[in-house]
């Protein structure tokens, strides 16, 4: 009963309880702060394309622009801003899903090399258009137990970045190898690279090395944050190394599994 409980709750226990309580409220405060920062960054990101659209539309209205060609050009720019808004909102929705852990992984064991080859085929036209040589180097086939669609999103994002931040005539290579019990995927480019001071931050939400440049390439600054979340949901790791003016290297390690046939054979054997 209450009195008995009061007796056993000695001074030490009370100070222990109050300490945990303080830690808990500090944690809640930090979470609240992070959430507020997220909401204000997100709002800021959404306001930028809106502001551009407002200027474009107002100049048509107030400057009495009637030349159909010019109106068409302005509307084309508005259309691009709408695309950008859509990209940001899609990325935000994915991020929130991953955050809530409500993103259900549809896992199956699959050969990573197949996913790489498939993704490269999708991205090849972009590389050709930018005159960048896109190649893959499958050193060893490795099976991974994961969500193929989500992991394809990871690859697409990484190779897309590599292509985005590499000038014409450059090279992007995706390598697959086995490293201990991991499938190691390397995405290397000969692009502009990332300054050393920015390296620790590039997986943060909304972080961009060069805001203007990233915006002009349609970046939201959310791609790598999403990529890291997906990789971590698969118990994997992602790291970056880079040298300004020389290129970047992203390394993704995902736990490997035995090929399904082998598993079955082992199960059948007595």
Measured from the CB of residue 185, what is the shortest distance to ligand ADP in angstroms?
Answer: 14
Taking the CA of residue 237 as centre, how many other CA atoms within 13 Å lie in the half-sphere pointing to its CB? 5
Cβ-proximal residues to 82 (8 Å cutoff; 6+ apart), any chain: 49, 53
Residue number with CB closer to ligand ADP (183 or 192) = 192
Could you tell me the smallest distance in angstroms from the CB atom of residue 201 to ligand ADP? 8
Packed helices 11-62 and 68-99: angle between N→C axes, nearest 10 degrees: 170
Length of the chain: 270
Kindly write down the DSSP assignment for every residue of 177-220, as one continuous string: EEETTEEEEEEEE-SS---TTTGGGTTSTT--SSHHHHHHTT--
Closest separation in Å from C-beta 220 to ligand ADP: 5
Which parts of this chain interact with ligand ADP (CB under 6 A)?
161-162, 165, 189, 191-194, 202, 207-210, 214, 219-225, 248
Whose Cβ is closer to ligand ADP: residue 176's or residue 225's?
A: 225
For ligand ADP, give the closer residue by CB, 74 or 207: 207
- At residue 79, the 3 state secondary structure works out as helix
| 228, 212 Cβ separation under 8 angstroms | no
Q: Work out how close the CB of 221 gets to ligand ADP at its nearest, in angstroms, rounded to a whole number.
A: 4
Per the CB < 8 A criterion, the answer to whether 241 and 226 are in contact is no
Q: Which is nearer to ligand ADP, 130 or 178 (CB)?
A: 130
CB of 194 to ligand ADP, least distance (A): 5
Taking the least distance from each CB to ligand ADP, the nearer of 49 and 193 is 193
3-class secondary structure, 174: strand
Six-digit token string for 109: 């064991």
Place of tokens 């030349």: 67
CB of 205 to ligand ADP, least distance (A): 8
DSSP state letter for 221 = S
- CB of 162 or CB of 254, closer to ligand ADP: 162
User: By beta-carbon distance, which residue lies closest to ligand ADP?
Assistant: 219
């Amino acid at each position: 009963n209450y009195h008995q409980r009061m007796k056993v709750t000695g001074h030490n226990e009370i100070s222990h309880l109050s300490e945990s309580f303080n830690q808990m409220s500090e944690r809640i405060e930090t979470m609240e702060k992070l959430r507020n920062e997220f909401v204000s960054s997100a709002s800021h990101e959404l306001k930028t394309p809106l502001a551009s659209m407002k200027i474009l539309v107002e100049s048509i209205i107030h400057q009495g622009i009637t030349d159909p060609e010019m109106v068409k050009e302005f509307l084309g720019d508005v259309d691009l801003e709408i695309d950008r808004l859509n990209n940001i909102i899609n990325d935000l929705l994915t991020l929130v899903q991953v955050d809530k852990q409500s993103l259900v992984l549809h896992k199956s064991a699959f050969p990573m090399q197949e996913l790489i080859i498939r993704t490269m085929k999708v991205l090849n036209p972009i590389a050709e258009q930018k005159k960048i040589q896109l190649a893959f180097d499958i050193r060893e086939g490795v099976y991974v137990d994961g969500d193929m669609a989500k992991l394809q999103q990871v690859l697409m994002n990484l190779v897309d970045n590599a292509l985005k931040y590499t000038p014409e005539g450059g090279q992007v290579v995706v390598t697959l190898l086995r490293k201990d019990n991991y499938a190691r995927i390397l995405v290397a480019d000969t692009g502009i690279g990332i300054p050393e001071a920015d390296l620790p931050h590039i997986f943060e939400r909304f972080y961009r090395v060069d805001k203007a440049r990233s915006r002009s390439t349609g970046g939201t600054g959310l791609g790598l944050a999403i990529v890291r979340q997906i990789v971590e949901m698969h118990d994997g790791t992602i790291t970056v190394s880079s040298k300004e003016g020389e290129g970047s290297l992203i390394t993704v390690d995902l736990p490997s599994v035995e090929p399904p046939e082998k598993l079955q054979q082992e199960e059948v054997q007595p």
